[in-house]
Chain A
Amino acid sequence: MNGNGSPEHRLASAWALAPADGFASTDRRIAALLAHPETARPPRRWRALRVALALAAALLVLAGAAAGAMRPLDLVATATPGTAVAWDQGVEINQRQVHDGYAVTLARGYADINQVVLGVSVERAGDSQRLDLGFVTELRDPAGVVLGPADGVTFGANDSNGQAEMLTFGPTTSSDGEYTLRLGIAGEGEQPDMAWTFRFKLPAPAGALVHVAQTQTTDEASIAVSDVRLSPTMITAAIHLEPTDQGASGWAAIGYFKHGRQTIDVDWGTRRGPSDLDQTAGTYSGTGDPAGSWTLVITELVGERPDGTQVRLEGPWEFAFSAP
């Protein structure tokens, strides 16, 4: 034994490591995750947005000095691999409108078969300052369909010049014509006035929709996968669960997609569908080359019984499919 102390101290010293560049990248992924809180009874929409934005801003502050040097839109654009792709492959819109002393700029837009992503910045007209605003949004696609009202915000960031958001919405039903984005700034406890309206066009959405239509059954559960959407910003699978443990609920699927040597984790989580057993499992990374063989592997289902006992059903349930 050398003179540096007991094995306990030497062990702790050996692993007293910190990330070389801090937790900025992880913070951004988690901030994006927290912007999609799933609650049994969602709070009022604008309140939920404020919570998400405030948390995102708090986590981004933790990202440190490197993040502080970036403009808010640059910051939020790189929040996840998927949003970075949306930013890079999106089109410039650059529409600016001023109402009630706030200038809102719709900078860029992007659409694929999983989501529509819009980059928006806000500043106080004629007076640069840090902002901490909550937004309420409504996006209609060219067919007039309102897209994903529950998913109206990815997350935001702010600095001394203002605030920026990457807004994400559900997949478009049409790309032939103009989208309409209405936006309001929420005050505490009051219904916002949707004062800003932007009309713009986006290219046809990229990606491949694959009808999988497979069911895999084990002693623990039966899982059916109907469709998988493979796109540059994310991958999603529509799944239906039939666990043998009928007394549990609140199920979440854990797993990954495999494509050649690449694996993409279901780290976006699962989102409840029409029922607790109908869900969408998704990723924060997408694919630019969907053609070929894929496998969705669900490794585990996690749920809970009414008495609070956690239930973990071990898989795997594997679904092989091909994309054109």
Chain B
Amino acid sequence: MEIATAVDEAGEGRALDDVGISDVEAFSRAYVRYRLPVYRYLRARGATDPDALDLTAITFGRAFAGRHAFRARDGGLGAWLFRIARNAAVDAHRRNKRRPDGPLTDGDDVGLAIAADHAERERQEIIDAVSGLPDGQRDAIWLRYAGGPSAREIGLVLGKSEAAIQKQIQRALDALREVLE
């Protein structure tokens, strides 16, 4: 499994940044490019499959409404979309209190794409470990490994510097290594 799909496709993301998303065709390309990372990030935050799909649509709906305000200099398209997605998830949690704003649980429908050889116990072990992290580290980990944005983009989403995010992620990985070993 490849870890950092967004990093692997950074060139494509930059191309989208360069042209902006004001016109419909560019926005459509951005949607196709980012819908899966946004969906995965929302799933990692604890949304069920249908809720994550709904929030993905809401995210891109909000992005479309505000697309004329988007500028690459504000941190790039990925950071902008993940910030909208995060706000949408927080709004949904605050309004609906449908479920805790936390990681996936045993009761969740986990969709189709878990690798066939990846045991459910392994997945649950990871999820439990991440749920024990401090809030800031947990959010950075969700973004990095479910959504895939870079540390710089995560910093723009969470309002922290790139260096601070790198430290947070490193501390989180150290903590996870201890817990999982």
Among A10, A12, A258, A265, the residue within 8 A (CB) of B58 is: A265
With A14-B127, A252-B69 as contacts: A269 and B64 at CB distance below 8 Å: yes
Is there an interface contact between A18 and B113, defined as CB atoms closer than 8 Å? Answer: yes
Is there an interface contact between A15 and B43, defined as CB atoms closer than 8 Å? Answer: yes
> How many chain A residues touch B (Cβ–Cβ < 8 Å)?
55
With A15-B146, A29-B57 as contacts: A7 and B176 at CB distance below 8 Å: yes
> How many chain B residues touch A (Cβ–Cβ < 8 Å)?
63
With A17-B110, A18-B111 as contacts: A1 and B180 at CB distance below 8 Å: yes
Please report whether the interface of chain A is mostly helix, strand, loop or mixed according to DSSP. mixed
Bound Cα distance A17, B111 (Å):
6
Q: Which of B11-19, B34-42, B160-168 contacts A (4 or more CB under 8 A)?
A: B34-42
Is there an interface contact between A14 and B24, defined as CB atoms closer than 8 Å? Answer: no
With A12-B145, A14-B123, A309-B71 as contacts: A55 and B24 at CB distance below 8 Å: yes
Is there an interface contact between B126 and A14, defined as CB atoms closer than 8 Å? Answer: yes
A25 at the interface (CB under 8 A from B): yes
Is there an interface contact between B32 and A9, defined as CB atoms closer than 8 Å? Answer: no
Nearest CB in chain A: distance from B174 CB, A = 9
Among A16, A33, A263, A310, the residue within 8 A (CB) of B114 is: A16
With A7-B176, A7-B180, A15-B146 as contacts: A33 and B61 at CB distance below 8 Å: yes
With A14-B127, A17-B110, A20-B49 as contacts: A254 and B177 at CB distance below 8 Å: no
Bound Cα distance A25, B60 (Å):
13
Taking CB atoms, residues of chain B closer than 8 Å to A18 are: 36, 39, 111-113
Among A17, A34, A253, A302, the residue within 8 A (CB) of B27 is: A34
Is there an interface contact between A268 and B32, defined as CB atoms closer than 8 Å? Answer: no
Taking CB atoms, residues of chain B closer than 8 Å to A100 are: none
Taking CB atoms, residues of chain B closer than 8 Å to A19 are: 39, 49, 52-53, 111-112
Residues of A within 8 A of B (CB): 1-2, 4, 7-20, 23, 25-26, 29-30, 33-34, 37-39, 51-52, 55, 58-59, 62, 250, 252-254, 256, 258, 263, 265, 267-270, 284, 299-300, 302-304, 308-311
